[in-house]
């Protein structure tokens, strides 16, 4: 039996927790009936141009026939099968495709349920690697402030401990090592002074550090900050110098979002461990993966206890792997680089005028990412409905109003989207 909008909202307000919300919070919620291409249709009939790619993952838009066909064909064979002691073609094909696309040293793949879990897996890999190498004292992780790596406990421990979303858990989280985020922006040089705090912290603590973990080039939910590729390159050099692993969290940046297939390519470096997710399945299914080198995987496999200690129930779900494989073929068979470049041009042209507003602190664009940083936090109770009235779906947080549109969005729709952002922001006092 279908429900009308009032029935949906009554049950939602009474029963359902949304991300980072409280029951009955009073924040506006909008029931969705369907989605097609780059548009979301609400139950009340209004259509919204999607500026968020459903939190950065629906890079091909919605209800894509090739994606639908892959899911339907796999559903006819099996929707799920345990991955312990069994395997299947979608998983091994997807693993091969990921190894093909990612930097050359990454040769083995561990499938996970979500981005947060892939970060947990990466951290466990680093710890098990050093345990197998007879260096159990290497148990800490070093990172930069303003980072975000997920909501599970290990991932939370490497998120910003002060400005992040998890400060109330600080007493129970593992205590990691932090340095200030680099001040050198994207396309700027990284001076000795810029890298000095990181270099000093690593030099002083490398004997207890298992790995450095970073979001390469773009810090996502921790502030949508873009930093110098040269800084990342120098981090790689320092990790090599001090015999510390480098984990790169490409969950938000991977699969073309910054204009490169992976953001680490801006610095021409490769990590020892890489996390991918979000756009991996084009927004169809929850799936992530952690890739590492042959040397790390073989060291873990030959050390005590002789196996990697992780195994999700829904690991390598066949439906999700089929969606992932279809999504990656769609991406690599498309002129994705040209599309992302055109999005970057449109975002720049459409958002840079916001710099003239007194309420705006900064505007920055990289690839298919556009950010307007406000001087003060936005009031979601008024700003979110204003975007709905403008016919677009944009979900701000804190002081950030940002866009990450699907790669298939055309120039006309991008103009409409950025114009709506300008109009809504101009009415913020």
Q: What is the mean pLDDT of residues 325-341?
A: 98
Residues 6+ apart with CB under 8 A from 136: 130
Q: Which of 272, 278, 402, 407 is catalytic?
A: 278
Bridge partner residues of 401 (DSSP): 372
Using 50, 70 and 90 to split pLDDT, how confident is the model at 369?
A: very high
Closest CA to 175 of 146, 151, 130, 141: 141
Q: Which of 50, 194, 249, 413 is catalytic?
A: 249
**Percentage of the chain exceeding pLDDT 90:** 94
Q: CB atoms < 10 A from the CB of 175, how many?
A: 11
Residues 6+ apart with CB under 8 A from 66: 326, 330
Q: State yes or no: pLDDT of 93 exceeds 80.
A: yes
- For residues 197 and 60, give the distance between their C-alpha atoms in angstroms, rounded to a whole number: 40
In this structure, are 359 and 281 located in the same domain? no
Tell me what pLDDT residue 173 has: 93
- For residues 74 and 323, give the distance between their C-alpha atoms in angstroms, rounded to a whole number: 9
Tell me what pLDDT residue 131 has: 97
In this structure, are 130 and 230 located in the same domain? yes
124 is catalytic: no
Tokens of 276: 């991918």
Placement of tokens 């090599």 in the chain: 240
Strands across the sheet containing 209-214 = 106-112, 288-293, 273-276, 245-249, 209-214, 140-144, 177-179
In this structure, are 121 and 231 located in the same domain? yes
Using 50, 70 and 90 to split pLDDT, how confident is the model at 24?
A: confident
Closest CA to 279 of 328, 246, 317: 328
Final residue of a structural domain among 281, 305, 332? 332
148 is catalytic: yes
Contact 59, 399 (CB under 8 A): no
In this structure, are 109 and 217 located in the same domain? yes
Digit-coded pLDDT (tens) for 169-228: 988 999 999 999 999 999 999 999 999 999 999 999 999 999 999 999 999 999 999 999
In this structure, are 210 and 306 located in the same domain? yes
CATH of residue 51's domain is 3.90.1150.10
**Total structural domains within the chain:** 2
In this structure, are 203 and 92 located in the same domain? yes
In this structure, are 115 and 252 located in the same domain? yes
**Percentage of the chain exceeding pLDDT 70:** 100
Final residue of a structural domain among 332, 353, 373? 332
CATH of residue 206's domain is 3.40.640.10
Residue 11, domain extent: 5-63+335-426
Q: What is the mean pLDDT of residues 264-268?
A: 98
Q: State yes or no: pLDDT of 384 exceeds 90.
A: yes
Final residue of a structural domain among 294, 316, 332? 332
In this structure, are 242 and 199 located in the same domain? yes
Tell me what pLDDT residue 33 has: 97
Tell me what pLDDT residue 350 has: 98
In this structure, are 231 and 253 located in the same domain? yes
Tell me what pLDDT residue 429 has: 82
Q: Which of 148, 227, 284, 402 is catalytic?
A: 148
What is the DSSP pairing of strand 245-249 with strand 209-214? parallel
> What's the CA angle centered on 403, arms 402 and 409, to 5 degrees?
170
Q: State yes or no: pLDDT of 239 exceeds 90.
A: yes
44 is catalytic: no
62 is catalytic: no
In this structure, are 184 and 104 located in the same domain? yes
Tokens of 357: 């507003």
Contact 306, 68 (CB under 8 A): no
- For residues 309 and 151, give the distance between their C-alpha atoms in angstroms, rounded to a whole number: 20
3-class secondary-structure state, position 361: strand
In this structure, are 253 and 216 located in the same domain? yes
Dihedral angle computed from the Cα positions of residues 335, 336, 339 and 341, in that order, rounded to the nearest 10 degrees: -110
Using 50, 70 and 90 to split pLDDT, how confident is the model at 298?
A: very high
ω before 305 within 30° of 0 (cis)? Answer: yes
Question: 84 exposed, middle or buried (CB, 10 Å; 0-12, 13-18, 19+)?
Answer: exposed
pTM: 0.97
Tell me what pLDDT residue 197 has: 98
Radius of gyration of the chain (CA): 22
Using 50, 70 and 90 to split pLDDT, how confident is the model at 398?
A: very high
Tell me what pLDDT residue 210 has: 98
Average pLDDT over the chain reads: 96
Using 50, 70 and 90 to split pLDDT, how confident is the model at 23?
A: confident
3-class secondary-structure state, position 6: helix
3-class secondary-structure state, position 376: coil
Q: State yes or no: pLDDT of 135 exceeds 90.
A: yes
Contact 60, 278 (CB under 8 A): no
> What's the CA angle centered on 195, arms 193 and 199, to 5 degrees?
115
In this structure, are 108 and 211 located in the same domain? yes
Across 59-116, the runs of DSSP E, i.e. the strands, are 106-112
Q: State yes or no: pLDDT of 25 exceeds 80.
A: no
């Amino acid at each position: 039996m279908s429900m009308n909008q009032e029935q949906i909202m009554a049950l939602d307000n009474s029963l359902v927790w949304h991300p980072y919300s409280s029951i009955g919070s009073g924040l506006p919620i909008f029931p969705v009936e369907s989605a097609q291409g780059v548009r979301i249709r609400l139950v009340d009939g209004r259509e919204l141009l999607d500026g968020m790619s459903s939190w950065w993952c629906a890079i091909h838009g919605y209800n894509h026939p090739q994606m639908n066909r892959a899911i339907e064909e796999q559903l006819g064979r099996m929707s799920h099968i345990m991955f312990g002691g069994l395997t299947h073609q979608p998983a091994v094909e997807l693993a091969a495709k990921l190894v093909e696309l990612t930097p050359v040293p990454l040769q083995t793949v561990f499938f996970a349920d979500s981005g947060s879990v892939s970060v947990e897996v990466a951290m466990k890999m680093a710890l098990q690697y050093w345990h197998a190498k007879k260096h159990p004292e290497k148990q800490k992780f070093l990172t930069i402030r303003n980072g975000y790596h997920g909501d599970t406990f290990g991932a939370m421990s490497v998120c910003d401990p002060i400005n992040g979303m998890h400060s109330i858990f600080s007493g129970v989280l593992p205590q990691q090592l932090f340095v200030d985020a680099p001040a050198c922006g994207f396309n700027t040089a990284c001076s000795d002074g810029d890298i000095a705090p990181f270099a000093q912290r690593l030099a002083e603590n490398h004997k207890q550090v298992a790995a450095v973990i970073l979001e390469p080039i773009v810090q996502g939910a921790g502030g949508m900050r873009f930093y110098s590729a040269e800084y990342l390159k120098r981090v790689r050099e320092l990790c090599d110098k001090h015999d510390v692993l480098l984990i790169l969290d490409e969950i938000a940046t991977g699969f073309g979002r910054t204009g490169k297939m992976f953001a680490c390519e801006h610095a021409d470096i490769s990590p020892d461990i890489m996390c991918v997710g979000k756009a991996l399945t084009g927004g169809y299914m929850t799936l992530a993966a952690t890739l590492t080198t042959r040397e790390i995987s073989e060291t873990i496999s030959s050390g005590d206890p002789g196996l990697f200690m992780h195994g999700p129930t829904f690991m390598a779900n066949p439906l999700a792997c089929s969606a992932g494989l279809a999504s990656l073929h769609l991406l690599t068979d498309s002129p994705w680089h040209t599309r992302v470049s055109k999005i970057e041009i449109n975002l720049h042209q459409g958002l840079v005028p916001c710099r003239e507003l007194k309420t705006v602190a900064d505007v920055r664009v990289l690839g298919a990412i556009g950010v307007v940083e406000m001087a003060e936090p936005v009031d979601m109770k008024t700003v979110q409905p204003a975007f709905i009235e403008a016919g677009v779906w944009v979900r701000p947080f804190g002081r950030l109003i940002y866009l990450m549109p699907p790669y298939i969005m055309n120039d006309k729709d991008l103009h409409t989207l950025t114009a709506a952002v300008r109009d809504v922001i101009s009415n913020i006092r």
